[in-house]
Amino acid sequence: MEEKKVAVVGAGLVGSLFAVLLAKKGMEVDVFERRPDLRKAKEIGGRSINLALSNRGFKALELAGFAQEIRDISIPMYGRKMHDVEGNLTYQAYGKDNEAIYSVSRGELNRRLMNLADDYENVKYRFDRFCEDINLKENKIEFINEVSKDKEHYAYDHIFGADGAFSAVRGVLQKTPMFNYSQEYLAHGYKELSFPPNEDGTHRFDKNCLHIWPRGEFMMIALPNLDGSFTVTLFFPHKGETSFESLDTEEKVMDFFKATFPDAVPHMPTLVEDYFANPTSNLVTVRCSPWNYEDKVLLLGDASHAVVPFYGQGLNSGLEDCSVFFEMYEKYNGNVKEFFEAFSEQRVPDGNAIADLALYNYIEMRDLAGDKDFLLRKKIERKFSDLYPNKWMPLYSQVTFSHIRYSEALAAGNRQRKIMDEVMEMENIHECWDDQKVIDKILTLV
Nearer of residues 183 and 414 to a second copy, judged by Cβ: 183
Shortest Å, Cβ 106 to a second copy = 21
Nearer of residues 91 and 185 to a second copy, judged by Cβ: 185
344 close to 193: Cβ distance less than 8 angstroms: no
243 close to 236: Cβ distance less than 8 angstroms: yes
Q: Which window, 50-58, 149-157, 175-183, 255-263, contacts a second copy (CB under 8 A)?
A: 175-183
357 close to 399: Cβ distance less than 8 angstroms: yes
Beta-bridge partners for 194:
231
117 close to 8: Cβ distance less than 8 angstroms: no
Other CB atoms within a 10 A radius of the CB of residue 274 amount to 19
Q: Of the candidates 37, 184, 251, 434, which one interacts with a second copy according to CB under 8 A?
A: 184
Q: Which window, 110-118, 148-156, 176-184, 355-363, contacts a second copy (CB under 8 A)?
A: 176-184
252-311 residues in contact with a second copy (CB under 8 A) are: 282
Q: Which window, 11-19, 129-137, 179-187, 346-354, contacts a second copy (CB under 8 A)?
A: 179-187
CB-based contacts of 242, cutoff 8 Å, min separation 6: 217, 218, 236, 256
CB-based contacts of 295, cutoff 8 Å, min separation 6: 158, 336, 337, 339, 340
Shortest Å, Cβ 299 to a second copy = 16
137-166 residues in contact with a second copy (CB under 8 A) are: 166
**DSSP secondary structure code for residue 288 in this structure:** E
How close are the terminal C-alpha atoms of the chain, in Å?
45
Shortest Å, Cβ 283 to a second copy = 10
318-377 residues in contact with a second copy (CB under 8 A) are: none
128 close to 285: Cβ distance less than 8 angstroms: no
φ/ψ of residue 141, rounded to 5: -125, 135
Q: Of the candidates 182, 198, 246, 333, which one interacts with a second copy according to CB under 8 A?
A: 182
Q: Of the candidates 68, 135, 185, 379, which one interacts with a second copy according to CB under 8 A?
A: 185
Q: C-alpha 36: how far from its chain's center?
A: 23
301 close to 314: Cβ distance less than 8 angstroms: no
Q: Which window, 89-97, 129-137, 172-180, 247-255, contacts a second copy (CB under 8 A)?
A: 172-180
Q: Of the candidates 40, 149, 175, 372, which one interacts with a second copy according to CB under 8 A?
A: 175
Shortest Å, Cβ 294 to a second copy = 15
Asked whether position 176 contacts a second copy by CB under 8 A, the answer is: no
65-84 residues in contact with a second copy (CB under 8 A) are: none
Nearer of residues 270 and 281 to a second copy, judged by Cβ: 281
* 162: nearest Cα among 7, 54, 358, 293: 7
Q: At what angle do helices 314-329 and 55-63 cross, to 10 degrees?
A: 40
Task: Spell out where 314-430 has E strands.
Answer: none
Shortest Å, Cβ 81 to a second copy = 32
Q: Which window, 77-85, 173-181, 394-402, 419-427, contacts a second copy (CB under 8 A)?
A: 173-181
Nearer of residues 180 and 270 to a second copy, judged by Cβ: 180
Q: Of the candidates 178, 330, 425, 427, which one interacts with a second copy according to CB under 8 A?
A: 178
Nearer of residues 22 and 306 to a second copy, judged by Cβ: 306
φ/ψ of residue 363, rounded to 5: -65, -45
The Cα 302–Cα 18 span in angstroms is 13
Buried b (16+ CB within 10 A) or exposed e, 390-417: eebbbbbbbbbbeeebbbebbebbeebe
Nearer of residues 285 and 313 to a second copy, judged by Cβ: 285
Asked whether position 135 contacts a second copy by CB under 8 A, the answer is: no
Asked whether position 180 contacts a second copy by CB under 8 A, the answer is: yes
> What would the x/- binding string for a second copy be over residues 218 to 257, using CB under 8 A?
--------------------x-------------------
Give the total of residues touching a second copy (CB under 8 A). Answer: 14
Nearer of residues 115 and 282 to a second copy, judged by Cβ: 282
**Binding residues vs a second copy (CB under 8 A):** 166, 174-175, 177-185, 238, 282
